[in-house]
Amino acid sequence: MQKAQNHIPVEEAIKRLKAEVIAQDWRLSPKRADSLEEAFQCLRQHFKTRKAIQAMLIMAGSVLEHIRRRNGKPPETIDFLKEAMAHIVSLYEDLDDEPGREKSVFDTLFRRFQDLKQRLKNPGQAGNKPCAPFPALEPEEQPQAKLSPAASPRRQEPDDESVQVELLITELQKALEKAGEAGSAIKIMLAEALNTEPAREPAPPRSLKAEAEAAAAENSKITRATSLSPPPAEPCPATDLRELVINGTRLALPTECVALSQELKPLIMRRCLSQNQLPLKYLSGFMRKLAPRLNSRLSELKERKLKKLALPLIIPRGLELSARPDKEASTFMIISHENWHGVLACSEVSPADCLMTRFAKQRNGDIAGIGYIDDERQVLVLDVLQILKREGFLLLAD
């Protein structure tokens, strides 16, 4: 029995997007729309740490909902949907960590979204691009949203194209609200693309007690900021650590959480990084069974079941830590804690363990603090349980 966060694998979601991008049939059937919606949900979970792609997925999802309400007919919106899906597929398959590329693609797509709104408002006029205007949308039988007088001063008829524009904007706003924290970050990105200041909700009135607590907290922050001395290190039980390097940062984790470390061929490594997961079949081979080499509860599974499993690639979070896989990675490290399992892609793994005798608690995302090695070296220690419970794979053996 296993628990998965997404209903479909990421590869299947990308495959569905590719199929729709190259599809010649421009009418989106309800079945194909449902398939795309499921793919978008899977990818939103997969790209939850990459806000630009999250924004593109939310825009694509709102446009998809608009198309479904129009019975899959509007060619303008389908054209935008195909372009958005093509960008998402391209960013998924691209391993080059080029700074600002995702933001640049988002800005391009958002300008395309603005152009789409103008085409819907004025179907008879040419857009900003030097191409023929798209055909006008067919009139809708019943409007799905009620516009305020400020939004549209003219009389709103069922065939009014401005109704369709406001529907599209309303659907995008609802999608952003459902996205929670990611939606708030995306709203700021949209405002930056429009060169406007995002509207911020006024803070609720606070009592005198709340004001005093806020002032005390702010004073505490200032005190901590002015103190440049590191937190004191306290003696701790002697703990074996395994050191590793991810995106140029040296980290460490308890050796008891390391199930297996193994180098892979560059071609297989690139394939796994693009898929953000490690199929365990790559670690097994003829006369080289995987189960006996695993130092975790995965070793309790039969070899044929292990070969069918794929563990998710986990990227540690924290200030000054990259949110993308290490493109120089050559080794996969399987980490486990009881029934939770995952994989780290490392460019370097220490062949021997080191002994931590002192520890200074200093929380920074997935970094629990600073470990002091017996030879007075310092290393950042990862909180393995936190990482696995957020992005790991929960496997309950039969």
pLDDT on residue 197: 47
Q: Where are the alpha helices (DSSP H) in the chain?
A: 10-21, 30-46, 51-69, 75-93, 101-121, 161-178, 181-194, 208-226, 266-275, 303-306, 384-391
Side-chain-side CA neighbours of 36 within 13 Å: the count stands at 29
Residues forming beta bridges with residue 343, ordered by sequence position: 313, 334
Q: How far apart are CA 330 and CA 193, in angstroms?
A: 38
Q: How far apart are CA 396 and CA 394, in angstroms?
A: 7
Q: How far apart are CA 32 and CA 19, in angstroms?
A: 10
Report the interhelical angle of 51-69 vs 161-178 (nearest 10°): 140
> How is residue 295 written in tokens?
């130092």
- Measured in degrees and rounded to the nearest 5, phi and psi for residue 312 equal -75, 145
- Regarding pTM above 0.85, the answer is no
pLDDT per residue rounded down to tens, the chain (398 residues): 444 444 688 888 888 988 888 887 667 788 888 888 899 988 888 888 888 888 889 888 888 888 887 765 566 778 888 888 988 888 887 765 566 788 888 888 888 888 887 777 666 554 444 333 333 333 333 333 333 333 333 334 444 455 555 556 666 666 656 555 555 555 566 555 555 544 555 555 555 556 556 655 655 554 444 344 567 888 999 999 999 999 999 999 999 999 999 999 999 999 999 888 999 999 987 677 898 999 999 998 888 889 889 999 999 998 888 888 898 999 999 999 999 999 999 999 999 999 999 999 988 999 999 999 876 789 999 999 999 999 888 887 65
**What are the sequence ranges of the domains in the chain?**
2-147+158-194, 234-395
Q: Is 269:329 a contact under the CB 8 Å cutoff? A: yes
Q: Is 388:334 a contact under the CB 8 Å cutoff? A: no
Q: How far apart are CA 153 and CA 151, in angstroms?
A: 7
